[in-house]
Amino acid sequence: MTVDLGTLGWMVGAIPKFQTVDRASRATSPAMLRRALPLRWHWVAMAALVVPLSFVLVQCGKAPDAGMLAANTEGAKSRTKSQASADTFEDRFPTPQFADRFPTAHESLPQIQRQVALAPQPRAVRTEPVRVASLTPTLTLPRTEREELTTLVSMKSSAFPYSGTNPRSEEPFLNIAKGDRKGHRSYGGRVYWQDETYNDSRVLVHVPDTFDVRKPGVIVVFFHGNGATLERDVRDRQLVPQQISDSGVNAVLLAPQLAVNAADSSAGKFWQPGGFKRFIDESASHLARLYGDPKSAQAFANLPIVIVGYSGGFLPTAWSLEVGGLPSRVRGVFLLDAVYGELDKFASWIEKNRTGFFVSSYTRYTKRHDEELMQMLRDRGITVTESMDGPLRPGSVVFVQTPDGVTHRDYVTQAWTEHPVKDVLVKMAATPALTRVASAPYASR
């Protein structure tokens, strides 16, 4: 939702327009002074109320406590104090200025204004050639009457609710209770309750208006970071659906809700063997329905997959690669400042899947882990490139460090380039072999 700060001037210390009076044109009598004094004190009293309120509104943008970013991995517990102090939540998510902030539940306009519909949004008709992931990277597609669709779909196989174990500790994930209420105590000591944080089974699904199931394409699975929701962050702030549409690549999006608005990287059902496969299998019928042709489900069930993991999304990404059950369909992995741990899982997938690509773009916060992973791969005889120039090819392994001025909070929209998800998809589409898959014939209606 876009909020016009001009319309909110009354909330943040806007100065009322007073009617001006030409005092020189009239005499000031004692009686007039007596009448003016109460009026003057009235405005003083109002100012005393407005000024403290403005400070309260500014404080709403304060970043969460540093301990909230503790990752759910053994590596997070072994960091030294010096490393922890150089890798804080405040560093990664600096307090934004008021004009840069996105609205929260406490700052939103009235309910009727903040209910932004997820129904199909009209897009301008494209007349230029559209790039698709196919044997011919660039060609003109015939227009269809479909509009692109971005919506939320509840899926049983999504990350949560989850009542299994944490594979790192082999203990129940829901490890705390208060009466009938169950919750999870994270490694950082923070308690999150199931009914607030781990009970959202929805998935953000995006089908661009140019998508054609008859052509080679991909399913992009996006694992968001800590402190996120699908609508506010993945859709509106990070613009992931828009980046996919703007790339022109023949791709659809699945973005499962992980821990809701919490500093927790838990993978939920993606920790389970075959969990990622069950998620992808269930998505085929939903994608076919949204595409507008139930018969296309078989085609969606065979599309190759690209996993994008941002920040805390490294954990479901790593476990989906390790035990997800679809190693041959995953043709690419793209990490956005996300190598916080699980290096062995990433290295193992890269070594065993030389027909796919791997890209890790990072800031100083994850530099130490990225450099360690690069060395692990070189020790195994795998060539590593440190530049995003040129297309991505089968077997490409790319690490890209971004300048200090690039912030972790905005990394999904600004890394080595603006809109990096779009850029990776365009580079992938230049190599048809990455999206070629033996699929069953599909006959349109």
Average pLDDT over residues 198-216: 96
Q: State the CB neighbour count (10 A cutoff) for residue 358.
A: 24
Average pLDDT over residues 397-410: 95
Alpha-carbon dihedral sign for residues 255, 260, 263, 268: negative
- The residue among 117 and 250 whose pLDDT is bigger is 250
Q: What is the CATH number of the domain that holds 365?
A: 3.40.50.1820
Q: Residues 137, 423, 396, CA angle at the centre, nearest 5°?
A: 75
Average pLDDT over residues 349-363: 96
What is the tens place of the pLDDT at every residue in 61-72? Answer: 333 333 344 345
The residues near 186 (Cβ < 8 Å, ≥ 6 apart) are 70, 72, 192, 263, 264, 266
- The residue among 129 and 382 whose pLDDT is bigger is 382
What is the tens place of the pLDDT at every residue in 15-51? Answer: 333 333 333 333 344 444 344 444 444 444 444 444 4
Pair 65, 183: CB distance under 8 Å: no
| pLDDT value at residue 435 | 63
Mean pLDDT of the chain: 76
**Phi/psi of residue 373, nearest 5 degrees:** -65, -40
What is the tens place of the pLDDT at every residue in 80-96? Answer: 444 444 455 445 554 44
What is the tens place of the pLDDT at every residue in 93-112? Answer: 544 443 343 444 444 433 33
Q: How far apart are CA 329 and CA 299, in angstroms?
A: 13
Q: How far apart are CA 406 and CA 417, in angstroms?
A: 10
Average pLDDT over residues 334-353: 97
Q: How far apart are CA 186 and CA 153, in angstroms?
A: 28
| pLDDT value at residue 186 | 85
**Nearest to 251, CA basis, from 218, 290, 205:** 218
| pLDDT value at residue 328 | 87
| pLDDT value at residue 440 | 40
Domain assignment present for 66: no
The model carries a pTM of 0.71
Domain assignment present for 128: yes
Domain assignment present for 272: yes
Q: State yes or no: pLDDT of 393 exceeds 70.
A: yes
**Nearest to 12, CA basis, from 59, 73, 64, 58:** 58
| pLDDT value at residue 258 | 98
Range among 122-126, 130-134, 202-206 with highest mean pLDDT value: 202-206
Per DSSP (E only), the strands in 320-396 are 330-336, 357-362
| pLDDT value at residue 187 | 80
| pLDDT value at residue 282 | 98
Reported as type and span, the H/E element at residue 12 is none
Q: Read off the tokens for 263.
A: 């500093």
- The helix/strand/coil state of 77 is helix
Q: How far apart are CA 191 and CA 404, in angstroms?
A: 33
| pLDDT value at residue 390 | 83
Domain count, the chain: 1
Domain assignment present for 392: yes
Confidence grade of residue 73 (pLDDT, cut at 50, 70, 90)? low
Pair 225, 173: CB distance under 8 Å: no
Domain residues for the domain of 249 are: 118-160+200-434
Preceding omega of 420 cis (within 30 degrees of 0)? no
| pLDDT value at residue 92 | 53
Q: State yes or no: pLDDT of 197 exceeds 70.
A: yes
Domain assignment present for 278: yes
Reported as type and span, the H/E element at residue 185 is strand 181-185
**Phi/psi of residue 219, nearest 5 degrees:** -105, 125
Q: How far apart are CA 217 and CA 249, in angstroms?
A: 7
Domain assignment present for 19: no
| pLDDT value at residue 188 | 80
- β-pair partners for 397: 358
Q: State the CB neighbour count (10 A cutoff) for residue 272.
A: 19
Q: How far apart are CA 54 and CA 11, in angstroms?
A: 8
Domain assignment present for 182: no
Domain assignment present for 240: yes
DSSP 255-323: EE--SBTSS----GGGGSTTHHHHHHHHHHHHHHHHHT-GGGHHHHTT--EEEEEEGGGHHHHHHHHHH
| pLDDT value at residue 432 | 78
